[in-house]
Amino acid sequence: MNNQLVDSQGRSFPYLRLSLTDVCNFSCSYCLPEGYQCDSPKNYLSIDEIRRLVTAFAELGTWKIRLTGGEPSVRKDFVDIIKSLRSVDGIKQIAMTTNGYKLKEKIGQWVDAGLTNLNVSVDSLDPRLFADLTGHNRLPQILEGIDYALTLNNLRSVKLNAVLLKNINSHQIDQYSQLLKDKPISMRFIELMQTGDNLEYFNQYHVSANDLKNYLKAQGWSEKIKSPGAGPAVEFVHPEHKGSFGIIAPYSKDFCDSCNRLRISSTGDFHLCLFGEQGFSIRHLLKTDEQKTELKETLCRLLGKKRKQHFLHDGDTGITPHLASVGG
């Protein structure tokens, strides 16, 4: 099917990041340092609303769904959500991003339900630093869960995420490199982004992703050609390693040129950019199956408002208060 989700820059969007909740049971220093704060009652999208939404996106050409949060697995109906998405025609990939809190206990159920790709946040391989960053002393259990996930035949890829933080994990690249020696994992470093509530933290811990790129190249890593539907990460491979490094560099000059993802918040707002100026509520179009045509027309019309790029370089973070609010 041809992708009908094409913006004014000619970019197409096969990839939807769907937030299931803004609740997270971790308190990561770069995202929710005070832990999750419930400031008002939330009415998250139901399974039926999610199915209608994803069906419309699939008919417009989207084939990759990433389930995010907060922490998506805190939803009691998480397995049922995966099963529902597996039944949607046109959806080829169902991925999730998780903090891995109950990964070892739950990953088998998730994969049996239809999960195809897994991303786990691992911001340090030092147990003490990991606990300081996340508020949880669970690194050994999370690493055990990752090892178990690698044994599951129906799981197509396992990736680790880390936010690149100056003098916290920026000096641990060699530790991660050792992890990749014998494990077919993609280790992705995400350049710290400024949000509405983290300016002081950003100024203290931001380090350019270019520094990491230059270091990897000096260590014999080389850039890999992107696969279809891939996200914004630039991948680096090494002949002596089974795994790879990925670098997501939102402050790089051409970062937005290859944008291929759209976002839906946990309460049904359509976000054209993580750092956009507003979200567009489409939840009123998810009440019945008969609204599908209007929903698809609305999505295509709103896509016409997508800007050429974000303005993080200018300190403009849009309406994003923190990364858990939209799903990163």
How sure is the predictor about 61, in pLDDT bands with cuts at 50, 70 and 90?
very high
Question: Which helix (DSSP H) or strand (DSSP E) does residue 52 occupy?
Answer: helix 47-59
Asked if 308 and 183 touch (Cβ cutoff 8 Å), the reply is no
- 314 by Cβ neighbours in 10 Å (0-12 / 13-18 / 19+) ranks as exposed
Report pLDDT digits (tens) over 261-297.
999 999 999 999 876 667 899 999 999 999 999 999 9
Strands (E), the chain: 15-19, 64-68, 93-98, 117-121, 157-164, 186-191, 222-223, 234-237, 244-248, 261-264, 269-271, 280-281
Report pLDDT digits (tens) over 104-136.
999 999 999 999 999 999 999 999 999 999 999
How far apart are alpha carbons 92 and 180 in whole angstroms?
27
pLDDT value at residue 313:
47
How sure is the predictor about 318, in pLDDT bands with cuts at 50, 70 and 90?
very low
> What is the topology classification, in CATH, of domain 15-325?
TIM Barrel (3.20.20)
pLDDT at 260 over 50: yes
Residue 59 three-state SS: helix
pLDDT at 47 over 50: yes
Report pLDDT digits (tens) over 216-254.
999 999 999 877 666 678 999 999 999 999 999 887 767
Nearest to 257 by CA among 266, 249, 267: 249
**pTM listed for this prediction:** 0.90
How far apart are alpha carbons 250 and 244 in whole angstroms?
20
Question: Where are the chain's structural domains?
Answer: 15-325
Residue 140 three-state SS: helix
